[in-house]
């Protein structure tokens, strides 16, 4: 039996020779492994954007297939294609694009861009190469572009600026939109909020502790003036009806009411908030030193060549004054009944009411439903050089030629009722009362309608039947109301579906039953998914729905008998008159609005 040399050595030399031979063999094996390594398993291919979106159920296979076809034809990126189709939103796409590219992905908005740094690159360069400078931190310039791996563009920006560049992804359309915005003159206003530091501002429990001298000095500074001008400009351009400027513990909050819904726009620093409020007070000729009492005022501005009235209201809260500015842009409105979207049958009934020489016409609905616009449109229709029209309003929102408008003033004891009595001594033909709020005004209005005047007014009730019973509840005798009433117009404003993110769906049977829908339950209806154009609401613009109740002999007999609201509603349905719900369902059937919006606006039982 032969012994192994390493286990049964015969001499020292033999042992050394054996060790050397083993080491040589090991070295040769290692060298061979290095020169001819065992093939590693191939790396996994990165998951494509479409696969990521399908995996998270953010797009359907059909939408993805259609997007890929459009992408192939037009040479667009898939993300941009899905965005343009309205299939997915930026918020849906950006996290997946960031994971795919390995760089941050950002939804561009004005508060993220330093208005000074953005001009590191000139506008022509940015438009040509599709880049936008955002901010500069310790000599590193962060830029947005739609392909952060484009080394040629990154190198060009570095050579142009002399700075190191950190790229982030943003959609090309967003970059183009922000380039157009960032190089406008009024974009400098964002320097006020660019360096916001929330922790540097402490809660001011009592706004009266603010140094008024310091506030007035700040008001004179251009950043505060520019910020207020910027807010007004943006509100008008975005068709906002109100600007809400309110304090919070760490910063201010500015919200616009667009299509009846509040949308947050920016958050100014808390330390400049008192100066912003004071600037608005100066514009509205309010007392800048009075911060414990509500104040009301108004001013007029010229924006984009047109005059716009602003109605300003301040309200003291526990952490500062809240300001609301009502934007009264007459050029954005129409005071033409034919252009309000009233269906032909109901429009004919309204015009028939307005043709009467005397009587009471009521327009009813909640605050912000367009009652004032309807009344002003009625005045525009019937005014003439041969007619004396007088109004009493609180406040007068729009001034109309050939109409004598009186504003209620509680400090001078000029109420609706007292003003109405004075108006009756002015030989009026038509009287418009902004709102019937109390029994005295209701009784004087009915008496005026019975004595040869056409009286137009508003009430806050749910529908036309409710308006009749509300007048009786205020103390008007039913027989007098029956004799005076010409008709009632109830109205609402429903939001229209955004055309950029419109999609179709099958409505739940429960919703259709709740809405008393009589059509095909298997048909598709439309709704908005939410996109950049509509601030993720799914709606853009509003249209009216109307319920017109023209008083005839039968209705007058019912009113004289003091009929209940439910009895009147049953009579309206039996007579086949279109209700608010009918109007809303008609708009939903024509895919102008959504069923959910119809339910929100017209279901009030």
> Per residue, what are the HEC states of 435-473?
CCCCHHHHHHHHHHHHCCCEEEEEECCCCHHHHHHHHHH
CB-based burial label for 510 (10 Å; 0-12, 13-18, 19+): exposed
Q: What is the pLDDT of residue 165?
A: 92
- Which pairing describes strands 403-407 and 242-247: parallel, antiparallel, or unpaired? unpaired
Q: Under a CB-based contact definition with an 8 Å cutoff, are residues 362 and 467 in contact? A: yes
Instruction: Please report whether residue 211 resides in a domain.
Output: no
pLDDT single digits (tens) 73-88: 776 778 777 877 777 7
Q: What is the pLDDT of residue 111?
A: 63
Q: What is the dihedral of CA 458, 460, 461, 464, to 10 degrees?
A: 10
Instruction: Please report whether residue 260 resides in a domain.
Output: yes
Q: What is the pLDDT of residue 100?
A: 81
Q: What is the pLDDT of residue 157?
A: 93
CB-based burial label for 156 (10 Å; 0-12, 13-18, 19+): middle
Residues 347 and 300 in one domain: no
Residues 309 and 392 in one domain: no
Q: Both ends of the chain: CA-CA distance in Å? A: 107
What is the rounded distance in angstroms from the CA atom of residue 145 to the CA atom of residue 436?
Answer: 58
What is the rounded distance in angstroms from the CA atom of residue 558 to the CA atom of residue 482?
Answer: 8
Task: Show which of 283, 302, 329 is a domain's final residue.
Answer: 329
pLDDT single digits (tens) 1-56: 444 433 334 444 544 454 455 445 544 543 444 344 444 444 444 567 777 776 66
Q: What is the pLDDT of residue 57?
A: 67
Choice among 55-64, 196-205, 252-261, 490-499 with the minimum mean pLDDT = 196-205
- Which pairing describes strands 430-433 and 454-459: parallel, antiparallel, or unpaired? parallel
Q: What mean pLDDT do residues 342-355 have?
A: 94
pLDDT single digits (tens) 528-566: 988 878 888 899 999 999 999 999 999 999 999 988 989
What is the rounded distance in angstroms from the CA atom of residue 198 to the CA atom of residue 195?
Answer: 10
Structure tokens at 571: 């009579």
Q: What is the pLDDT of residue 294?
A: 93
Highest mean pLDDT, choosing among 175-179, 195-199, 214-218, 481-485? 481-485
Highest mean pLDDT, choosing among 196-200, 205-209, 455-459? 455-459
Is the pLDDT at 592 greater than 80? The verdict is yes
CB-based burial label for 276 (10 Å; 0-12, 13-18, 19+): buried
Residues 319 and 400 in one domain: no
More confident residue, 316 or 107: 316
Q: Under a CB-based contact definition with an 8 Å cutoff, are residues 430 and 387 in contact? A: yes
Q: What is the pLDDT of residue 454?
A: 96
Can you list the alpha helix ranges (DSSP code H) found in 284-429?
344-354, 371-382, 416-424
Query: In sequence order, which residues have a C-beta less than 8 Å from that of residue 476 and are 6 or more positions away?
Result: 439, 442, 443, 446
- Which pairing describes strands 485-497 and 539-550: parallel, antiparallel, or unpaired? antiparallel
Residues 421 and 547 in one domain: yes
Q: What is the pLDDT of residue 69?
A: 76
Residues 441 and 566 in one domain: yes
Q: Under a CB-based contact definition with an 8 Å cutoff, are residues 474 and 393 in contact? A: no
CB atoms within 10 A of CB 508: 11
What is the rounded distance in angstroms from the CA atom of residue 18 to the CA atom of residue 35?
Answer: 26
Instruction: Please report whether residue 144 resides in a domain.
Output: yes
pLDDT single digits (tens) 443-466: 999 999 999 999 999 999 999 999
Q: Under a CB-based contact definition with an 8 Å cutoff, are residues 191 and 116 in contact? A: yes
Instruction: Work out how many domains the chain is built from and give that number.
Output: 3
Q: What is the pLDDT of residue 26?
A: 43
Task: Show which of 307, 329, 351 is a domain's final residue.
Answer: 329
The pLDDT confidence band at residue 305, using thresholds 50, 70 and 90, is confident
Q: What mean pLDDT do residues 498-502 have?
A: 91
Query: In sequence order, which residues have a C-beta less than 8 Å from that of residue 47 and are 6 or more positions away?
Result: 55, 100
Instruction: Please report whether residue 35 resides in a domain.
Output: no
Residues 169 and 275 in one domain: no
Choice among 121-135, 177-191, 238-252, 290-304 with the minimum mean pLDDT = 177-191
Instruction: Please report whether residue 191 resides in a domain.
Output: no
Beta bridge partners of residue 414, listed in sequence order: 409
CB atoms within 10 A of CB 217: 11
Residues 571 and 547 in one domain: yes
Is the pLDDT at 250 greater than 90? The verdict is no
Q: What is the pLDDT of residue 102?
A: 84
Instruction: Please report whether residue 564 resides in a domain.
Output: yes
Q: What is the CATH number of the domain that holds 155?
A: 3.30.300.160
What is the rounded distance in angstroms from the CA atom of residue 209 to the CA atom of residue 257?
Answer: 31
The pLDDT confidence band at residue 584, using thresholds 50, 70 and 90, is very high
- In terms of Cα–Cα distance, which of 414, 463, 473 is closest to 443? 473
Distances (CA, A) of 301 to 108, 313, 333: 30, 16, 17
Q: What is the CATH number of the domain that holds 270?
A: 3.30.450.90
Instruction: Please report whether residue 530 resides in a domain.
Output: no
Residues 348 and 270 in one domain: no
Residues 300 and 345 in one domain: no
Q: What is the pLDDT of residue 449?
A: 95
Helix (H, G, I), strand (E, B), or coil: what is residue 2?
Answer: coil
Helices H, strands E: what count in the chain? 23, 18
Q: If you search the block for the tokens 């960032």, which residue do you land on?
A: 182
Distances (CA, A) of 198 to 111, 189, 203, 228, 387: 14, 19, 11, 21, 60
Encode burial over 110-129: b for 16+ CB neighbours within 10 A, e otherwise: beebbbebbebbeeeebeeb
Task: Show which of 132, 159, 183 is a domain's final residue.
Answer: 183
Residues 324 and 353 in one domain: no
Enclosing domain of residue 141: 49-183
CB-based burial label for 333 (10 Å; 0-12, 13-18, 19+): middle
More confident residue, 477 or 303: 477
Highest mean pLDDT, choosing among 251-255, 305-309, 351-355? 351-355
Beta bridge partners of residue 269, listed in sequence order: 251
The angle formed by the CA atoms of residues 25, 28 and 31, to the nearest 5 degrees, is 150
Mean pLDDT score of the chain, rounded to an integer?
82
What is the rounded distance in angstroms from the CA atom of residue 199 to the CA atom of residue 541?
Answer: 39
Residues 277 and 381 in one domain: no
pTM (whole model) above 0.85: no
Helix or strand run (H / E) with residue 362 = strand 359-364
Helices 212-219 & 222-237 angle (0-180, nearest 10):
60
Distances (CA, A) of 315 to 202, 277, 533: 21, 11, 32
Q: What is the pLDDT of residue 41?
A: 47
What is the rounded distance in angstroms from the CA atom of residue 371 to the CA atom of residue 434?
Answer: 9
Residues 273 and 362 in one domain: no
Query: In sequence order, which residues have a C-beta less than 8 Å from that of residue 395 and are 6 or more positions away?
Result: 298, 311, 407, 408
Sign of CA dihedral 45, 51, 52, 55: negative
């Amino acid at each position: 039996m032969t012994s192994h040399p390493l286990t049964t050595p015969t001499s020292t030399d033999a042992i050394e020779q054996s060790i050397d031979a083993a080491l040589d063999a090991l070295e040769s094996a290692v060298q061979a492994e290095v020169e001819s390594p065992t093939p590693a398993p191939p790396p996994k291919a990165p998951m494509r954007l479409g696969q990521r979106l399908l995996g998270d159920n953010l797009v359907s296979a059909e939408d993805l297939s259609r997007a890929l076809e459009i992408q192939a034809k037009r040479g667009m990126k898939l993300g941009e294609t899905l965005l343009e189709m309205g299939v997915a939103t930026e918020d849906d796409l950006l996290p997946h694009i960031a994971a795919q590219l390995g760089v941050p992905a950002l939804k561009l908005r004005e508060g993220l861009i330093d208005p000074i740094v953005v001009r590191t690159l000139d506008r022509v360069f940015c438009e040509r190469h599709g880049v936008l400078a955002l901010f500069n931190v310790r000599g590193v310039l962060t830029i947005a572009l739609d392909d952060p791996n484009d080394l040629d563009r990154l190198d060009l920006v570095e050579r142009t600026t002399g700075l190191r560049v950190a790229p982030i992804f943003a959609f090309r359309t967003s970059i183009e939109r922000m380039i157009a915005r960032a190089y406008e003159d009024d974009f400098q206003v964002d320097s006020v909020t660019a360096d916001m530091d929330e922790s540097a501002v402490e809660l001011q429990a009592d706004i009266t502790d603010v140094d008024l001298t310091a506030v007035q000095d700040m008001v004179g500074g251009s950043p505060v003036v520019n910020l207020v001008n910027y807010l007004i400009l943006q509100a008008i351009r975005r068709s906002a009806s109100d600007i809400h400027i309110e304090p919070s513990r760490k910063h201010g909050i500015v919200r616009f009411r667009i299509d009846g819904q509040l949308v947050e726009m920016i958050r100014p620093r808390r330390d400049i908030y008192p100066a912003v409020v004071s600037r608005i007070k100066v514009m509205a000729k309010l007392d800048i030193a009075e911060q414990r009492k509500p104040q009301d005022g108004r001013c007029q501005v010229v924006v984009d060549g047109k005059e716009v009235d602003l109605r300003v209201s301040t309200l003291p809260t526990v952490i500062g004054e809240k300001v609301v500015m009502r934007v009264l842009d007459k050029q954005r409105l129409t005071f033409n009944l034919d252009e309000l979207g009233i269906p032909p049958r109901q429009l004919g009934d309204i015009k028939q009411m307005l043709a009467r020489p005397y009587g009471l016409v009521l327009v009813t609905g909640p605050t912000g439903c367009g009652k004032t616009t309807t009344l002003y449109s009625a005045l525009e229709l019937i005014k003439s050089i041969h007619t004396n029209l007088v109004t009493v309003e609180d406040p007068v929102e729009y001034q109309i030629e050939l109409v004598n408008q009186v504003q209620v003033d509680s400090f001078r004891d000029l109420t609706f009722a007292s003003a109405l009595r004075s108006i009756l001594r002015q030989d009026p033909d038509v009287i418009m009362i902004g709102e019937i709020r109390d029994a005295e005004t209701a009784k004087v209005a009915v008496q005026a309608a019975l004595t040869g005047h056409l009286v137009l007014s508003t009430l806050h009730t749910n529908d036309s039947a409710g308006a009749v019973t509300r007048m009786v509840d205020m103390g008007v005798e039913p027989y007098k109301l029956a004799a005076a009433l010409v008709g009632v117009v109830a109205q609402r404003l429903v939001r229209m579906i955004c055309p950029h993110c419109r999609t179709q769906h099958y409505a739940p049977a429960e919703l259709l039953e709740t809405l008393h829908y009589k059509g095909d339950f298997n048909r598709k209806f439309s709704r908005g998914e939410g996109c950049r154009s509509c601030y993720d609401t799914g709606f853009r613009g509003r249209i009216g729905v109307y319920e017109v109740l023209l008083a005839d002999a039968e209705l007058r007999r019912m009113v004289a008998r003091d009929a209940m609201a439910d009895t009147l509603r049953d009579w309206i349905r039996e007579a086949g008159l279109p209700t608010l719900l009918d109007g809303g369902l008609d708009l939903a059937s024509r895919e102008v609005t959504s069923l959910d919006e119809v339910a929100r606006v017209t279901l009030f039982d």
